Every structure is written in C-alpha cells, then in structure tokens.
A and B are shown apart, each in its own frame.
Chain A
Amino acid sequence: MSLTSRLIDVAGGRAKVRVYEGGDGPPLLFLHGAGGLMRDDPFVAALATRYRVHAPLLPGYEDSTGEERLRTMLDIALHAYDVWDALGLSKPLVCGLSMGGMIAAEMAALAPNEIERLCLVSSAGLWLDKHPMPDLFALLPQEFPGYLFHDVERGSKLMAPGGDMNDINFLAEFMVMNARRLGMAGKMLFPIPDRGLSDRLYRIKARTLIVWGENDRLIPLPYAEAFRSAIADARVVTIPAAGHLVGHEKPEAVLRALATLN
C-alpha cells in the first residue's frame, strides 16, 4: 500500500504538519511513537489495507514545524485535535503507538465524547515502580533495536537509516534530526513518561483496545494491564513473538485485533 504525503497548516498556521495518507475504508488517525515514522512504515502501510489512514507527524519530526509552542501534555493533546480539525476527520478510530498512545489516551480523557474507538499499541504514559522502563534518552543509537524488537536482527534492518553512517555528513544530519525528534518527545517522556495520565484515564468513554507485544522490552507487559484496569471499556490483546514495535513485527495480528473494534 503506497502512501502519499502533504504539508498542511494547523491551528491557523501556528504549526505546519506533514501528513501521510492512504488506503480506503473507515477513517483512522494514527499517532506515531518517539521514533517517528519509518521510511515506507510497515505498520502504517498495513493499516492502510483496511482503513483510510491519516498519519500526521508531530512538530519536530521531518518537516513538521511549530514545536516551540508545544511544551506540555495539554498543548500536545490539543495540537492533535487541531490536526484532526485541519484534516476534517469525522469520528476516526484513533490509534496511537507508544508515545502516540500516550497522546491518544490523553485526547480521549480530555474530550471523552469525541473519541468512540481507541487503540493503544504498547502505549507510554504510565509508570509502575515495580516495572521501571529503560531510559530511552540514555540509549545509544545502536542499542535501540534490542529494546524495540522481538527479532532484533530483522528489526535492525527495518530501522536502517537509509544512508551510510560512516559518511560524516550523513551521520551529522542523522544525529541532528534524531536530537530534534527526541527533544520533542522529551516534552512528554523525559525524565519519566508520566504526565499524570493515570489520574484522568477514568474519563475515557471510548471502546478501547490495548495491543501489546508479549516480549516488549521497552514498556513491559504489566503496563497493558495497568491501562486496562484504569479504562472503563478496555480489552487487552497480547501478541506472541513480538516486541515493542508489535505493529511493525506482526502487522497482520494487529489488524485482526483491530477488526474486533469495528
């Protein structure tokens, strides 16, 4: 499934947002994780086989701009609603991966009548003292695949940056863009990815599907249950032989789980 992209004005030009779109079917708003979208992102591509997917990039990612005015979780959740408005979406299924799940859950708690169907995939946003997550912001680039994938070797290939890391100009460009992305992500996730969401999850009215890879080494499985127990109408689907990026490793299994939300 090939996607197209365009740059849209959001919030009266206060932000410019790159949106990837494709597919036919019911509308789905996809919110990416801290790493952004991969080139030809396999998860988004899979979603586009069943849905009309809209995958906006958060300011700070690629050529989406306007991140200076997004400081707090509230700013960011409202920004996501501004994007929704700019796209003219009508009752989309909202699906967030990791950091995107944190934003999606915040949106659903903030305006519970707006979101009827919610999918949280390996979502960030909670902190369990008994299950501390590794510090994403102290990892070296080569360490990421080990935390993100069940099949680390395959995952490393998926994450390959599309250039020669021994070429200093490419490496420099990569490092700058990576710092910009994670700098933005840090507004939600640094130093601990908890901005009080657990106090607000009770407000969510959406039918909620929680999807988790059984071998998630970044946000371990107990977090799935923590989300489920705090949201009124929520179910958990765990997927074997998958890590944090479960939608990239097992897209068919995630699509099957999502079908139950229709």
Chain B
Amino acid sequence: MKFTWFHLMPWPHLPDDFREKHRSVWVDIPTTLYDAKRGHHVYHDYFDQLEFAEEMGFDALGVNEHHANAYGLMPSPNLMAAALARRTSKAAIMVLGDSIALYNPPIRVAEEFAMLDVITGGRLAAGFPVGTSMDTNYAYGQIPALTREKYAEAHELIMKAWREDEPFAFNGRYTQLRYVNCWPKPVQRPRPPIFIPGGGSLETYDFCLEFDYTYCYLSYSGYLRAQQLMDGYWERVAKSGKDDSPYRGGFAQVICVADTDADAERLYAEHVHYFYNRCLHVYPGFADAPGYRTVKTLQANMITQLTQAQLRNYPTLTWGDLVEKGYVIAGSPQTVYDRMVDLSKRLRVGNLFCLFQVGDMPGDKVRHSTQLFAEKVMPRLKADLFPEWRNEDRFWIKPMQPAERRLAAE
C-alpha cells in the first residue's frame, strides 16, 4: 500500500461560537477571523509536520487546493509543493491537485507541474480535480454547467503539451493558443502518475479508466459510508475489462493513533470535533451549484445524497459515534491496524490519504499519532495487504535514480 501523509492546512483559530455566528466556513467566511501573523506560524508548523512525515517513511506528502476556505489554507498547492521540494528527498509530492479548469490558460498547470517534477527529480504525483462547487463555481466564478467541458479541454491540452515534442496549435472552445510549447517538460515520461478526486460521478469513473488514472474518493465521512460509492467504481472497473489493481483506487481517512483506545479519545477528541463542527460547517446553498453535476450523475445519486445529508448531522455525533461509524479511525495501534485492514478490504484501495493533523490539533499530538502509525501500523499493513500486487508500479512515481539526482534536502 501507498500511504500519503495529507495536510488540509486548516485555520486552527476559529472561535468557539463559529457555528452559531457564521453560516459557512467556505465562500463567504469573513477574513476578520484570519490573523496573518498567527498564519505565519501556522504555515511553518504545517510544513514541519509534512517534513516530519517524510522522516517517518510515508510514501508521499499531500497538499491540495481550496479557495475562500478556512479549513484549507492552500489557494496555491503548487507553492506548497515547491517549498516541500527543496526540503525533502524521498517521498512523492502529491499535489491533489490543481483544479485545471481554473488556470488561465491551463498550460500553466503543465508548466508548473513540469517544474515541480524536474525540481523533485521525478517525485511529483499530479492530481487533476474538477474542484468542489464551492471553489470552482462560487469562489472562482466558473459557470457550473460548463465546468466539466472546460475541465476536459484543459486536460486534453495539458496531456498533449507534455506528450508532444514540437510546438503545436490548440484550438479549444475555452482556450486558444497558437503556440503550445511546454518548457520545461516533466522528468517522468510521458507523464507523472495522475490522481483524480471524485465524488461518485459516473463520468469520472470512466475518465479514470480510459486513461489509467487513480480514482480517489476524498470524503470525510469515513470508510463505512464510502463503500457504496467505491463498490460502484469497482463495478465500473469490472465492466470496462481493465484489471482490478487496488492502485486504481484511493481514499482519504482521518486517523488518530495513541497508546490505547482511551488515550486516543483523551488526546484527540476535541480536535476531531473542531474539524467536524467548525471546519465542515458549509452553508448548504454553496454545496452544489445547479449544473455542476450532470443530470445523469444526479439521477444516479440523488436519493443516496438526500438520505446521507439527513443522517450527517455533525453536532449530534459523539466521539463514540464518529469512531464507530468510521468517520475517524482511532485507537491503539492494534485497533487502528484492524480497522485499516477492514477499510482496505472493503474499499479495495491501494492508496490511503491519511489525515493525521485534524482541525486544531497541535504539532506535538500530530507527531505522536503519526509516529505510532509509522512504526506500529504502517509496516504491518504494507506487509499484509494486497501481496499479489506488490510489484505494481503503473500508478506511482518513477523518480530519477539516486545516483543521477541532486538531493536538495541533504
């Protein structure tokens, strides 16, 4: 299995009455709640945590893109990846990712990802999300019903820019370029591995299968609820006639490890509640701009979506509920191991995006949980899960050989 230590970079200083006083953590949250001098420390603390995760042996360090959002302070994930590129030497840098429909022209993504891949010596794992509706439509003004077409065109442009050796003209509906000429080119040829976050759109399943990209479900609702969606994906994989490598799938999971189950609650519960009650407090009017999902996807998922929305009432969920229902995998190393095995088998995912920093969790607790997982859980999972796919390398980075590389961090 591949473990990505993923950071959302939440703002950890939202007030206790945030939920009562503000309708949304996203889109129209007032910036008076932000403090740039505290933000300076927050960013550096978060970089420290990511760098620590490399020392602990995680396969990848993950960052992502959000806008006008207090739980994700990375409007530009490429800046964060660049900062990590010079301070790390082994782990993949997983940018999950650049919302390619938002870059104008999208050739910018081909260029910046190529820069990152060259600087890291081929350690870039490239994510191409459509972006949430909050980011893409409300914060960045893209017309919802045209977002997917624009995304598809941006994808075509970027891939062609990486693939072609000669300059070419690109006559798109949303982008026209007389000279496409991507300098530099990525180290990984023809392209870095591509990860696509999805939320159950049939079109996204098929898109991943067509190009052999890894489909990633980044939910915070935990693995038990994710099973229906991932089952849908694997059914689609089977129908497509492609192999069922677990590395075609990825999942994000909040994980809290302590010496005992009781310690986990004592150490982490308050931070987990901060995350679910403040960071995920999104105004329903911003959740899904009309036109953002296709009618086909809406028809397939609407009843599930309505049912789940009724059940997902975060303020009523206790620590016990969150753990039992799998929102959070928490407890002793043995407990966490058992649940991670359950997760991997149910969802059949080879990629795990692990969220150890949760809400306003401070650095010492983040390190404690990360280290216990790295030393007592991760090696067992790597040894025990998907042994028949041990040599799978189609879906992961292919860095330059150590002898060829200049290691910036050493």
User: Footprint of B on A, CB under 8 Å?
Assistant: 67, 71, 137-140, 168-169, 171-172, 175-176, 178-187, 190-192
A138 touches B138 (CB 8 A): yes
B302 touches A172 (CB 8 A): yes
Which of B284, B291, B292, B303 touches A184 (beta carbons < 8 Å)?
Answer: B291
Which of A67, A140, A181 touches B284 (beta carbons < 8 Å)?
Answer: A140
Which 4 A-B pairs have CB atoms at the shortest separation, nearest pair first?
A183-B291, A182-B290, A138-B285, A172-B302
Number of interface residues of B (CB under 8 A): 26
Which of A139, A176, A183, A186 touches B302 (beta carbons < 8 Å)?
Answer: A176
Separation of A247 and B289 alpha carbons in the complex (Å):
28
B290 touches A178 (CB 8 A): yes
Q: Would you call B307 an interface residue if the criterion is a C-beta within 8 Å of the partner chain's C-beta atoms?
A: yes
A186 touches B283 (CB 8 A): no
Q: With A138-B283, A140-B284, A172-B303 as given contacts, are A187 and B146 in contact (CB-CB < 8 Å)? A: yes
Please, which residue of chain A has its CB at the minimum distance from the CB of B27?
A138
Chain B 134-172: CB-based contact to A (< 8 A → 1; otherwise 0): 000110010111100000000000000000000000000
Residues of chain A lying within 8 A (CB to CB) of residue B292: 183
- Tell me the dominant secondary structure on chain B's binding face: helix
Residues of chain B lying within 8 A (CB to CB) of residue A187: 143, 145-146, 291
B306 touches A171 (CB 8 A): yes
B137 CB to closest chain A CB, in angstroms? 7
B306 touches A184 (CB 8 A): no
Q: Would you call B376 an interface residue if the criterion is a C-beta within 8 Å of the partner chain's C-beta atoms?
A: no
Residues of chain B lying within 8 A (CB to CB) of residue A67: 145
Q: Would you call B298 an interface residue if the criterion is a C-beta within 8 Å of the partner chain's C-beta atoms?
A: yes
Q: Would you call B295 an interface residue if the criterion is a C-beta within 8 Å of the partner chain's C-beta atoms?
A: yes
A34 CB to closest chain B CB, in angstroms? 10
Separation of A178 and B299 alpha carbons in the complex (Å):
12
Which of A175, A186, A192 touches B298 (beta carbons < 8 Å)?
Answer: A175
- Tell me the dominant secondary structure on chain A's binding face: helix
A71 CB to closest chain B CB, in angstroms? 6
Separation of A160 and B273 alpha carbons in the complex (Å):
38
Separation of A186 and B138 alpha carbons in the complex (Å):
12
Residues of chain A lying within 8 A (CB to CB) of residue B303: 168-169, 172
Q: Would you call B13 an interface residue if the criterion is a C-beta within 8 Å of the partner chain's C-beta atoms?
A: no
B285 touches A190 (CB 8 A): no
Separation of A175 and B302 alpha carbons in the complex (Å):
8
Q: With A140-B285, A190-B137, A191-B138 as given contacts, are A179 and B298 in contact (CB-CB < 8 Å)? A: yes
Which residues 228-245 of B have a CB within 8 angstroms of A?
Answer: none
Which of A139, A140, A172, A182 touches B291 (beta carbons < 8 Å)?
Answer: A182
Separation of A218 and B90 alpha carbons in the complex (Å):
56
A184 touches B137 (CB 8 A): no
Extra A-B contacts (16), CB below 8 Å, given A168-B303, A172-B302, A182-B291: A67-B145, A71-B146, A71-B173, A137-B138, A137-B290, A168-B307, A176-B295, A179-B293, A181-B290, A183-B145, A186-B143, A187-B291, A190-B137, A190-B289, A191-B141, A192-B141
